[in-house]
Structure 1
Amino acid sequence: MNFIDLFSGAGGLSEGFIKAGFNPVAHVEIDENACKTLETRVTFHKLKEEGKINNYYDYLKGSISRDTFIKKFGDAKLSDTVINKSIGGENNSQIFKLINELSGNSEIDLIVGGPPCQAYSLVGRSRDKDRMKKDPRNHLYKEYAKFLAEYKPKVFVFENVLGLITANNGGYFEDMKDHFRSIGYQVEFDILNSSEYGVLQNRKRIILIGWRKEFKFSYPKFTTKPNTWSVNYLLKDLKKLKPGEQNNLTEYVTDTNEYLKKFDLRNGVDFVTQHIARPHNNRDLEIYKIAINKFEKGERLKYPDLPERLKTHNNQKSFVDRFKVVDGNGLSHTMVAHIAKDGHHYIYPDKKQVRSLSVREAARIQSFPDDFFFEGGRTAAFKQIGNAVPPLMANEIAISIKDKLKVND
């Protein structure tokens, strides 16, 4: 079953669908670093299928450069499946041409993806004087629809933030659903929380699914998974870090555990990459200590409660939880791309490690397996992780859709 991933980012949705047996014909993404990540990952899947996975591990260990890795173990057609272009305007015809060449004009069964969410998000609207009404990203769903009209897949999956429901008093969401219906698709949506699908994070998202009106299909019933694990349990086998410590390659400090085995996050490799902590100044570290001490007493730090000497913002009425400790004994709060700018909202839950989350810790909270490598450096990796759909939730969506497609076939 062939699929196209639009606005694909680092490929969290794709990872779940590939694991369920779907074939990615193309990924379309504007961010160059995310495209390099996708190219690395499709090469990983190729080597895994060929039984040559040790070549990938050599790259992760730094034994060979990325150029050598891609040229020697990838192939040109595989790299071409990652299309580094913005969706819309004149680019669409070029993208269609590339996809047709890649697919050999074979049928596209599925399209997945979700346009950038900043225009719909509550935070984005609160920070913009026009409430994001003039942001062109509000209408990127129409570009998504052009791909539906071009390829007429049996089914599509559209993921986005909850703010979409209320943006423009609900007008964008209603227009979106009407638009998809006008080009021949029945649509339904539900709100899924990734924590119900094995992800150790409270992350609610709209999952809108559409299917061709003449196609016998219905919105899937997803299988939820009881969650009995914690963030501390998820991260306990990773090396302790100091602020600014850069462990591009390190060993695990304990054996694997039930969670990592069940959800295949550790992958059976004896090393881990990108366990990298960002540096922090003394002021931030002092605030982090206060936040951790409060959290251990069952309280959350509010910005106005800080000593005056530690405050740098005059605004003490909004975003008062800008310094937030991850709940080590439970689930993390939602991971977002802002983690690329600072780590204040993702403080590691241990006063013996006063710092923000490392790249690998953030990736694990998003349910990326340890053999998933993010290209472009620390900041680019954080951005890709924060923007991603958790692969474990994506995999459950993929499995459910695959089962229904099999029944219909």
Structure 2
Amino acid sequence: MRKFKVASLFAGAGGLDIGLELSNGFETIYANDIDKDACATFSKWSDAEVVCGNIKDIHERDIPDADIITGGFPCQGFSAAGPRKVLDERNTLYKELSRVIEAKQPLAFIGENVKGLLTLGNGEIMEAIKNDFSSKGYRLYYQLLNAADYEVPQDRYRVIMIGIREDIDIGFEFPKPTGRKSIKDILSDLPEPKPEDICHAPYSSRYMSRNRKRDWDEVSYTIPAMAKQVTLHPSSPDMIKLEKDLWKFGEGSTRRFSWQEAAAIQSFPKYIDFEGNLTSKYKQIGNAVPPKLAKIIGTELFNTLNKALERKKKKVVV
């Protein structure tokens, strides 16, 4: 069976790429990220060439040709929780993805970002992205998905973007929800973590401004990249609302998810070994695309591309 070759930009620890490879239709041959710990983590599970550095400093000729280019470009400027400035220079990093796509002309690309991307600047940023990729010869398909609908036990809304090169484009349909799993479904067989695997930082006023706990039979809140903002393990007592934007802990032992539990909720396979200190591990996990979601999207993309290439082949023969 053919495997499409993948070059991954803003790769992080490789959540997106792990999922694509688990779908059995893709092989990552190149990965880039600016975070040295994420690069080290990626290198431990993948045989891809991993280049650690700023994508702005990497020339297109130094990136191998690939069938698919992926890029979960940094999203700080798009986040609903952060500054939503149309001119925020961080929002232009998608252009680095566009630059490489224009040069390499892959069959398709995959991008992902937070849902704030859809409304930033009254939709102007999303429209600019569509026009940019269109000028490079790609039709862009995008949809807001919740990972919880795809067997990932957390509410995690992300905009998934699929670009198909126009000469092979036959359309793309995002996969329908495949079902839900609870925190208990995922964590019930994990051992009690060691104290050093849990963030014990003080709980800030920001942390205490809303409920941070869900029960065993529910899905988790979003796993964040900041260690001290990681939500509570379901064994913790319920939080009590005191007033608007002010909660307190109930009686009993309260703790955050360990990094291993956060990784499991993100749907990382157990064999992934994260490099770096505790803060770095939480960061890599929280920044990732859930591999389970990526696997499901990858299966759909694999089938779509094979149909598209077969159709193009028949047209050439005729």
Instruction: Report if aligned partners of 1:223, 1:396 keep a CA contact under 8 Å in 2.
Output: no
Task: Quote the residue 2:22 is aligned against.
Answer: 19
Task: Quote the residue 2:94 is aligned against.
Answer: 141
Q: CA deviation at 1:209?
A: 1.0
Task: Quote the residue 2:69 is aligned against.
Answer: 111
3-state SS of 1:137 partner: helix
**1:339-358, Cα deviation, whole Å (9 max, x unpaired):** x2x14x50111146521100
Asked whether 1:390 is paired with 2:290, we answer yes
Q: CA deviation at 1:319?
A: 7.8
2:12 to 9, 13, 25: 9
Task: Quote the residue 1:171 is aligned against.
Answer: 124
For residues 165 and 61 of structure 2, the distance between their equivalents in structure 1, rounded to whole angstroms, comes to 23
1:406 to 300, 306, 317: 306
> 1:78-93 maps to which residues of 2 (within 5 A)?
78=48, 81-88=49-56, 91-93=57-59
For residues 66 and 186 of structure 2, the distance between their equivalents in structure 1, rounded to whole angstroms, comes to 37
Task: Quote the residue 1:209 is aligned against.
Answer: 162
Q: CA deviation at 1:221?
A: 3.7
Give 5+ residue unaligned stretches, structure 2.
Answer: 237-251, 310-318
Does 16-25 or 359-368 show the bigger shift?
Answer: 16-25
Instruction: Report if aligned partners of 1:120, 1:138 keep a CA contact under 8 Å in 2.
Output: yes
For residues 201 and 137 of structure 2, the distance between their equivalents in structure 1, rounded to whole angstroms, comes to 52
The structure that is helix-richer by fraction is 1
Give 5+ residue unaligned stretches, structure 1.
Answer: 44-77, 101-106, 126-130, 247-275, 285-311
**1:349-374, Cα deviation, whole Å (9 max, x unpaired):** 11465211001100011000111111
For residue 245 of structure 1, what is the amino acid of its counterpart?
A: P
Structure 2-normalised TM-score?
Answer: 0.85
For residue 169 of structure 2, what is the amino acid of its counterpart?
A: K
Asked whether 1:277 is paired with 2:198, we answer yes
For residue 33 of structure 1, what is the amino acid of its counterpart?
A: D
Q: CA deviation at 1:395?
A: 0.4
Q: CA deviation at 1:326?
A: 3.3
1:218 to 167, 171, 175: 171
For residues 50 and 23 of structure 2, the distance between their equivalents in structure 1, rounded to whole angstroms, comes to 20
Task: Quote the residue 1:347 is aligned against.
Answer: 232
The structure that is strand-richer by fraction is 2
**1:244-281, Cα deviation, whole Å (9 max, x unpaired):** 713xxxxxxxxxxxxxxxxxxxxxxxxxxxxx222356
Q: CA RMSD in A?
A: 2.0
**1:59-101, Cα deviation, whole Å (9 max, x unpaired):** xxxxxxxxxxxxxxxxxxx5xx10101112xx132xx34323x
Q: CA deviation at 1:230?
A: 1.7
**1:14-43, Cα deviation, whole Å (9 max, x unpaired):** 001111231112011011110000011115
Structure 1-normalised TM-score?
Answer: 0.67
Instruction: Report if aligned partners of 2:174, 2:297 keep a CA contact under 8 Å in 1.
Output: no
3-state SS of 1:35 partner: helix
For residue 230 of structure 1, what is the amino acid of its counterpart?
A: S
Task: Quote the residue 2:221 is aligned against.
Answer: 333
